[in-house]
Amino acid sequence: MKPEQLPNQGWEGRRVLVGVGGGIAAYKVCQVISTLFKSGVDVRVILTQSAQEFITPLTLTTLSRHPAYTDSAFWQPTHTRPLHIELGEWAQVFVIAPLTANTVGKLAHGLADNLLTNTVLASGCPILLAPAMNTQMWEQQSVQRNWQQLLRDSRYHHVGPDAGLLACASVADVKRHRIGSGRMAEPDEILASVRSLLHTNGKRDLVGKRVLISTGGTQEYLDPVRFIGNPSTGKMGLALAQAALHRGATVTLIHAPITWEVPSGIRAIAVVSAAQMGQAMLECFPDADVIVMAAAVADVKPAEYTPEKLPKKLLPNSLPLEPVPDILAELGQRKQPHQCLIGFAAQTGDIVKPALEKLRNKKLDAIAANPIDKPNSGFGSDTNQAIFLDKQGRQVEIEPCSKLQLAHHLFDFVGNIPRE
């Protein structure tokens, strides 16, 4: 059966409006705007009056390659249509970063006294909020009341705030490593959220769902410094976790050793070996609605472990191995009718036939077969491609795209799988 082919829908030509509030975190927005522009996104920027105390319109004009708008352009219109109406209708995603306590209050109560807040009311697209303020301010009951009221509106999505050392920290705070909540999310997290919204248009189809994901390459140790492993970096699992989180799920990520930090909002469980991953997966499995086994789990391990480093001269010429338990097969045996179990099959050559065998033998609902012998695909890359297959016989081919896009395509695909 020839797979249905979905075109690669990149970011080129998509339209993102960025509203910059007054806060020292405004400098982080420069990276967001620059990265969006470099990826082909059409970017427009609005600065509040207080934002101009921290960053100039010229800076953001230069980065976005388009004049940055201020209140002076709003109150002295030179456009044939009102500027806030034009921008509100133009935007596909609206980002407000940093979001201040003042703007939180205005948005919560539908107030509009500047270009930014008027454009919010004149727009209909998803709005991504990235709060940033002093911990004491963020934790005020009035601010939290306004914040919770905002989040009850389905248009509003948020990233952060995170906990960390804030710009208002004193020298003593720095020395004592004091941290507090209210720190704006990092540019990479904001960018991932923007890209998810561009794909989903704000759809939250996983609200109320618990998604369990494994990622990374397990390590099976011979002694304290030597192990059998693989080159998996866990980036695909990270993308799956972000996509699920952005679609409203409660996400648990069980990961083998990784070099990146797990974004806020995702429950992370760190493991090393296949045995540890299997134990963690089995413990979390009963509560999960969707399970994605994206980890590159070892097939074998050294038959014996030596607790002290082996001298080179004592290393065996042939290494006795033994199989490790098949985590995915065990999950397939335990799967309940309401659960959706998804596997990954990293293959060379013909990727469909072995993926179909794995789908059937391990009682999966769906599987993503991805080639690791093609450029910019598989282990360590920022992009990927795959053929999705399900137990109903559907096959959909995803052309090379970012791993976050592939993750969203996968959740789109499994969303249509008939349940037992």
191-225: pLDDT as tens digits: 999 999 999 999 999 999 999 999 999 999 998 99
Fold match, 4-200 / 210-414: yes
Question: What is the per-residue pLDDT for 162?
Answer: 75
pLDDT of 189 over the 80 cut: yes
Question: What is the per-residue pLDDT for 171?
Answer: 45
Say if CB 129 and CB 158 are below 8 A apart: yes
Q: Where are the domains positioned within the chain?
A: 4-200, 210-414
Question: What is the per-residue pLDDT for 313?
Answer: 86
pLDDT tens across 338-359, in order? Answer: 999 999 998 888 889 999 999 9
**Confidence grade of residue 78 (pLDDT, cut at 50, 70, 90):** low
Superfamily of domain 210-414: CoaB-like (3.40.50.10300)
Question: What is the per-residue pLDDT for 180?
Answer: 67
Q: Would you say 328 is a known binding-site residue?
A: yes
* Maximum alpha-carbon separation in the chain: 82
Sign, CA torsion 139/145/146/150 = positive
pLDDT of 177 over the 60 cut: no
Q: Would you say 299 is a known binding-site residue?
A: yes
Question: What is the per-residue pLDDT for 77?
Answer: 62
Average pLDDT over residues 378-407: 91
Structure tokens at 100: 């201040």
340 in active site: no
Question: What is the per-residue pLDDT for 348?
Answer: 84
Q: Does residue 418 have a cis bond before it (omega within 30 degrees)?
A: no
Question: What is the per-residue pLDDT for 73?
Answer: 87
Average pLDDT over residues 168-182: 56
Structure tokens at 34: 């620059």
Catalytic option among 30, 125, 168, 340: 168
CA distance 238 to 209: 18
At 181, phi and psi to the nearest 5?
-80, 155
Q: Would you say 390 is a known binding-site residue?
A: no
pLDDT of 7 over the 50 cut: no
pLDDT of 170 over the 90 cut: no
User: What percent of the chain lies above the pLDDT cut of 90?
Assistant: 73
Average pLDDT over residues 267-287: 96
Summary mean pLDDT of the chain: 90
Which residue matches tokens 């296949």?
274
58 burial type by CB count under 10 A (0-12 exposed, 13-18 middle, 19+ buried): exposed
Which residue matches tokens 């003593």?
172
**Confidence grade of residue 273 (pLDDT, cut at 50, 70, 90):** very high
Q: Would you say 358 is a known binding-site residue?
A: yes
pLDDT of 336 over the 80 cut: yes
The predicted model scores a pTM of 0.89
Average pLDDT over residues 32-53: 95
Q: Would you say 326 is a known binding-site residue?
A: yes
pLDDT of 376 over the 80 cut: no
Please give the CATH topology (third level) of the domain spanning 4-200: Rossmann fold (3.40.50)
The strand pairing partners of 37, in sequence order, are: none
Q: Residue 44: how many CA atoms within 13 Å on its side-chain side?
A: 21
Q: Which among 33, 37, 34, 42 is positioned nearest to 15, based on CA atoms? A: 42
Angle CA(394)–CA(244)–CA(147) in degrees, nearest 5? 145
Q: Would you say 54 is a known binding-site residue?
A: no
pLDDT of 110 over the 80 cut: yes
pLDDT tens across 132-167, in order? Answer: 998 889 999 999 999 999 999 999 999 988 776 655
